[in-house]
Amino acid sequence: MDNLVEIRWHGRGGQGAKTASLLLADAAFNTGKYIQGFPEYGPERMGAPITAYNRISDNPITIHSNIYEPDYVVVVDDTLLESVPVTAGLKETGAIVINTTKDAEYLRSVLKGYNGSIYTIDARKVSMETLGKYFPNTAMLAAIVKVSGVMTDEELLSDMEGSFKHKFAKKPEVIEGNMKALEMALKEVKKI
């Protein structure tokens, strides 16, 4: 399928990987794309590994399965690097985006020979500076948009402002922090 972008998210229950994948799907839909966003659960408990998926295309999507050969992988929790095969099936023409402060040598060693592009962001730092609490999903959402180019930074920011106003209607004080987290993350994601 031409112009189909497939993204696989790895996180732990409670970190917002599922929410981020659904927000990405909504934002892409609002830019006129065809989308899919769905989670896959193992044991449903806080802290357990979870996987979520996105498909984004300019054409209708007729595939209805998990994603086995993603273009991009997002790792919300770097402790998963040693316990989950995060690069399984990952195309070397794509990239992996990792929430980490670990150095390039360590990352290359745990990614076991993956030769594609590796991007990192310290989502903890972004989250703490903008929200005052550790919510890595907002930063990771911006990071994957920046790396994948599925939409422009401006499209993401405009759509997410509307989403946040709706989602946090009863807590408007968190909208500004989330917007700052997106803006900061767009600048902080780096290729190693």
The band of 66, judged by pLDDT with boundaries at 50, 70 and 90, is very high
Tell me what the mean pLDDT of segment 89-96 comes to.
95
Q: Using one digit for the tens of pLDDT, what is the confidence trace for 101-113?
A: 999 999 999 998 8
- Separation CA 188–CA 192 (nearest Å): 12
pLDDT at 1 over 60: no
Tell me what percent of the residues of the chain surpass a pLDDT of 70: 97
The band of 42, judged by pLDDT with boundaries at 50, 70 and 90, is low
- Separation CA 160–CA 172 (nearest Å): 14
State the pTM of this model. 0.93
- Separation CA 54–CA 22 (nearest Å): 8
pLDDT of residue 164: 85
What's the half-sphere exposure (Cβ side, CA atoms, 13 Å) at 146? 21
pLDDT at 48 over 90: no
The separation between CA 48 and the C-alpha centre of its own chain, rounded to angstroms, equals 18
Scan for tokens 């946090």, then name that residue. 168
Q: Are strands 49-57 and 117-121 parallel, antiparallel or unpaired?
A: unpaired
77 and 10 in contact (C-beta within 8 Å)? Answer: yes
- Which two structure tokens, joined as six digits, stand for 14? 């409670």
- Separation CA 36–CA 57 (nearest Å): 9
Scan for tokens 């020979």, then name that residue. 113
12 and 83 in contact (C-beta within 8 Å)? Answer: no
3-class DSSP assignment, residue 135: coil
- Amino acid identity at 6: E
Tell me what percent of the residues of the chain surpass a pLDDT of 90: 82
